[in-house]
Amino acid sequence: MAKKKQTKLPFSEQLIQAIESSELTRYRIAKDSGVAQSTLSQFVNGHRALSLANIDKVCDFLDLELVPRK
């Protein structure tokens, strides 16, 4: 039987999951990372993308790093 290919989530979805699964509010993440609260909320709700600079800020604040899959 053929193996079922694992579905990989886009990076943006992984980042949204990390934001939502953190024990912090979006307000706290936005305030402490330096990203506007409205920008972060619109991103999480799927209404806009984050700039690379804002992605860096959120990832740095949440202590996330991009790691390639093998």
Q: Does residue 46 come out as left (phi exceeding 0), alpha (psi in the -120 to 50 range) or beta?
A: left
User: Hunting for tokens 């991009």 — which residue is that?
Assistant: 66
Domain boundaries, the chain: 25-63
What band does 69 get if pLDDT is binned at 50, 70 and 90?
confident
CB 46 within 8 A of CB 40: no
User: Hunting for tokens 């912090």 — which residue is that?
Assistant: 24
Kindly report, residue by residue over 11-62, the tens digit of the pLDDT.
Answer: 999 999 999 999 999 999 999 999 999 999 999 999 999 999 999 999 999 9
SS3 12: helix
Residues 63 and 57: their CA atoms lie apart, in Å, by 10
